[in-house]
């Protein structure tokens, strides 16, 4: 895990895949939000965040992820997370992120589910 | 500029227009929508909205033009005209949430200003209330997460016996739930040396400073001035605010858990709170219990490994001792060995040779457990390989010595006594390589010591041993033993000693070799009375019949 959070992005049609590496705190959350907003601005309707290399998320990071989620929902888009540690999975469920964003075991499942949701009327 | 014809309250159309404007683009920030609606409904040429930000008032609408008015009077509770604009307090439930500045509106329309003030004030109040509810919900969920984390950590640590994973689990949760930017967990060995160190987000203190950091136990120390003042006597050069606690069990210092630089949503570093301190203290307590459990588990595994090793060593040793005693005309032999729990590495053997002769050996190798058993195995192999190739006993001992120098691990040695008896003549030749004096019991009384004739085997390169000869009359008996016999201790820490052994032998003239052996070992056991012994007790007796 990196000292500071890094975010890598790949665009697959109208879905953007974001890989995080490191602590999702204020700095990490802002980095994710910056990349996510850039993708939304460029027409992405679906976001899949792969948190395989993230072991820690704090409440600031979560509040930023909620802001990203609200932005995605405003635009009738879809946000999904995958490869969460059990601790982060539970954190997202308690903090309400999982109420509007889906959580999947792996990237393949997440991409498939987001594509289906975006295709449905 | 549009002016209105009368001062009557705004019509239903006004409210409908307001509602439509406010819901037109819900993705825009609320203040932008309020400014757009106020401009449209009032017909103002320009509009500004000021909101309270902590102790000051700041402009909150998007602006976008070159109009940069100052808020004239934050204490005003009625519309005032200043800076070329009409300033309307935005109020609801008796609280002023902001001010609306409208440039270019007609002074003759007080109802319009009052209505806009009420509308925007109510919306700002509702928005503020909604934010408060949302923040409270988030806060509530955060508290729930803390409780769940404590519960989960307890469960997780109860089943976690791997120290590095355990340390990560504690540190990750501590950093996460205190919103710290960095954290350190270090565990110490009983000697005080660092056993394990974990840093997230950069170190708070160098390792050597962590090792000497004497933190209070049970309650975390908050230092919100860590940039300028030391925390529990130690100054960190890397953090602004610090929260730290010592991890201990029953007063024994196990480690240190520290987090630093609690962050806020705007990216600044804020003070750690009493709630953070309580949380870290609870984590440290749970960690201490789990670390202690892991340590006890490690010790249990180590004990189990040692027990298995000892069983193996005992099995090797049992296998190497003769399963039956030789029957040789003119001599009567007996031998027995009482192993200790540690497996001491005693060895004895008999070698029926040509012309009716009998070779016999007793040896005591250095060390305990598997290493000693393996050395016995090496000696066993060396004796059996070299005995037919050796011309004399000294030659045999020298060959065993060379074999050990070549194949045994460094600093391994043994004492041995090798005797060769010719039953026909009663001649006993022997070499004692640093071994305890053998005792020769004459048939008609009297005990002679057969002392060492050289250094232990494997201890010096090119060592030389001397062969000695003694005549054994029919009925004479030679008794060989290892130091486990004479050094057996009782509960008063007294040794069994040569004197007691000699006394037993003194009364053994009429006993068989086996009876002598059994009687001596039985008396040693009686003397020790169940006290755990450090060394194997082995005895070998040969009588000329």
**Domain containing residue A10: CATH number:** 3.30.750.24
Of A95-109, B222-236, B504-518, least confident by mean pLDDT is B222-236
Q: Which of A1, A59, A95 sits opposite B179 (nearest CB)?
A: A59
Give residue B118's pLDDT: 83
- Look at residue A3 in the predicted model and tell me its pLDDT: 63
Of the partner residues B27, B148, B265, the one whose CB lies closest to the CB of residue A60: B265
Check residues B16 and B541 and name the one with the higher pLDDT.
B541
Judged against a pLDDT cut of 80, whether residue B157 lies above it is answered with no
Fold: same for B12-133 and B159-296: yes
Q: Does residue A115 sit within a domain?
A: no
Residue A19 lies inside a defined structural domain of this protein: yes
The contacts of residue B47 (CB under 8 Å, 6+ apart) are B35, B38, B39, B61, B100, B101, B102, B103
Paired tokens of A77: 């888009």
- Classify residue A76: in a domain, yes or no: yes
Residue A88 lies in a domain: yes
Mind listing the pLDDT tens digit for each residue in B39-57?
Answer: 888 888 888 999 887 778 8
Fold for the domain defined by B321-544: Phosphatase 2c; domain 1 (3.60.40)
Which top CATH class is B12-133?
A: alpha beta
Nearest by CB to B145, from A1, A25, A94: name it.
Answer: A94
In a domain, A120, yes or no: no
Please tell me whether the overall predicted TM-score, pTM, comes out greater than 0.90 for this model: no
CATH class, range B159-296: alpha beta
**pLDDT reading at B1 higher than 60:** no
Residue B142 confidence (pLDDT) above 90: no
Half-sphere exposure of B252 (CA within 13 A, CB side): 14
CB B479 within 8 A of CB B539: yes
Which residues on chain A are in Cβ contact (under 8 Å) with B141? 94-96
Q: Which has the higher per-residue pLDDT, B409 or B416?
A: B416
Taking an 8 Å cut-off on Cβ atoms, the answer to whether A26 and B265 are in contact is yes
Question: Which tokens sit at A55?
Answer: 């072991």
Chain A residues touching residue B176 (CB < 8 angstroms): 56-58, 91
Spell out which residues of chain B touch residue A91, defining contact as CB-CB under 8 Å: 145, 176
In chain B, the residue whose alpha carbon lies closest to the alpha carbon of A24 is B176
Mean pLDDT computed over B458-479: 94
Comparing CA positions, the residue from A5, A97, A54, A51 lying closest to residue B145 is: A97
Confidence of residue B254 (pLDDT cuts 50, 70, 90): confident
Q: Return the number of CB contacts < 8 Å for A and B.
A: 60
Pairing of strands A78-82, A46-53: parallel
Contacts of B175 in chain A (CB under 8 A): 23, 56, 58
In tens, the pLDDT along A63-119 reads: 999 999 999 998 889 999 999 999 999 999 999 899 889 999 999 999 999 999 998
Q: Is residue A117 situated within a structural domain?
A: no
Q: State the sign of the Cα–Cα–Cα–Cα dihedral B170, B175, B181, B186.
A: negative
Digit-coded pLDDT (tens) for B324-367? 999 999 999 999 999 886 677 899 999 999 999 999 999 999 88
Total of domains in chain A: 1
Q: Which domain holds residue A101?
A: 6-110
pLDDT for the residue numbered B14: 67
Domain coordinates of chain B in residue numbers?
12-133, 159-296, 321-544
B166, B294 Cβ separation under 8 angstroms:
yes
Assess if residue A1 is contained within a domain.
no
CB-CB neighbors (< 8 A) of A63 in chain B: 138, 265
* Segment B132-140 long-range contacts (CB within 8 Å, at least 24 positions apart): B137/A96, B138/A59, B138/A63, B138/A95
Buried b (16+ CB within 10 A) or exposed e, A84-117: beebbbbbbebbebbeebbbbeebeebbebbbee
In a domain, A70, yes or no: yes
DSSP-derived letter for residue B457 is: B
């Amino acid at each position: 895990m990196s000292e500071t959070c890094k975010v890598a992005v790949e665009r697959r049609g109208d879905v953007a895949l974001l890989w995080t590496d490191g602590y999702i705190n204020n700095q990490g959350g802002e980095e994710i939000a910056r990349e996510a907003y850039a993708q939304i601005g460029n027409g992405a309707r679906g976001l899949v965040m792969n948190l395989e290399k993230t072991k820690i998320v704090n409440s600031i990071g979560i509040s930023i992820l909620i802001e990203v989620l609200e932005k995605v929902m405003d635009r009738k888009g879809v946000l999904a997370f995958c490869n969460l540690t059990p601790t982060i999975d539970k954190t997202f469920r308690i903090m309400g992120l999982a109420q509007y964003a889906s959580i999947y075991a792996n990237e393949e499942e997440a991409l498939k589910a987001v594509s289906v949701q975006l295709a449905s009327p | 500029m549009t002016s209105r014809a009368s001062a009557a309250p705004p019509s239903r159309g006004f409210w409908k227009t307001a509602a439509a404007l406010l819901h037109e683009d819900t993705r825009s920030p609320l203040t932008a929508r309020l400014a757009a609606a106020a401009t449209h409904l009032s017909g103002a040429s320009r509009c500004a909205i000021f909101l309270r930000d902590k102790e000051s008032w700041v402009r909150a609408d998007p602006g976008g033009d070159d109009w940069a008015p100052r808020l004239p009077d934050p204490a005003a509770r009625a519309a005032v005209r200043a800076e070329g604009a009409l300033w309307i307090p935005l109020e609801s439930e008796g609280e002023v949430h902001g001010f609306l500045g409208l440039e270019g509106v007609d002074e003759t329309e007080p109802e319009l200003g009052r209505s806009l003030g009420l509308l925007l004030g109510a919306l700002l109040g509702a928005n503020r209330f909604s934010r408060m509810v949302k923040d409270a919900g988030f806060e509530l969920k955060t508290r729930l997460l803390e409780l769940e984390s404590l519960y989960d950590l307890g469960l997780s640590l109860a089943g976690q016996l791997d120290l590095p994973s355990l340390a990560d689990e504690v540190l990750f949760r501590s950093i996460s739930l205190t919103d710290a930017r960095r954290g350190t967990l270090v565990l110490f060995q009983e000697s005080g040396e660092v056993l394990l160190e974990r840093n997230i987000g950069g170190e708070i203190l160098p390792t050597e400073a962590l090792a000497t950091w004497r933190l209070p136990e049970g309650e975390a120390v908050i230092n919100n001035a860590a940039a300028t003042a030391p925390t529990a006597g130690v100054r960190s050069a890397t953090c602004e605010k610090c929260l730290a606690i010592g991890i201990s069990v029953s007063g024994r210092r196990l480690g240190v858990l520290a987090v630093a630089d609690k962050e806020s949503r705007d990216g600044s570093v804020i003070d750690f709170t009493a709630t953070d301190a309580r949380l870290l203290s609870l984590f440290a307590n749970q960690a201490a219990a789990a670390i202690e459990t892991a340590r006890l588990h490690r010790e249990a595994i180590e004990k189990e490994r040692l027990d298995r090793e000892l069983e193996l060593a005992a099995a090797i040793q049992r296998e190497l001792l003769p399963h039956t005693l030789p029957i040789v005309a003119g001599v009567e032999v007996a031998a027995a060995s009482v192993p200790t729990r540690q497996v001491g590495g005693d060895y004895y053997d008999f070698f029926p040779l040509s012309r009716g002769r009998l070779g016999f050996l007793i040896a005591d190798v250095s060390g305990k457990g598997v290493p000693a058993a393996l050395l016995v195995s090496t000696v066993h192999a060396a004796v059996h390989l070299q005995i037919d190739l050796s011309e004399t006993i000294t030659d045999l001992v020298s060959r065993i010595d060379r074999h050990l120098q070549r194949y045994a691990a460094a600093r391994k040695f043994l004492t041995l006594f090798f005797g060769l008896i010719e039953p026909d003549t009663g001649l006993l030749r022997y070499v004692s390589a640093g071994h305890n004096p053998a005792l020769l019991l004459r048939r008609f009384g009297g005990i002679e010591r057969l002392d060492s004739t050289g250094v232990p085997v494997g201890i010096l390169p090119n060592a030389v041993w001397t062969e000695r000869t003694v005549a054994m009359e029919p009925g004479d008996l030679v008794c060989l033993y290892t130091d486990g016999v004479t050094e057996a201790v009782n509960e008063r820490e007294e040794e069994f000693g040569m004197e007691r052994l000699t006394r037993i032998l003194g009364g053994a003239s009429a006993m068989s070799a086996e009876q002598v052996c059994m009687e001596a070992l039985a008396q040693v056991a009686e003397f020790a009375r169940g006290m755990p012994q450090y060394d194997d007790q082995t005895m070998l007796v040969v009588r000329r019949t």
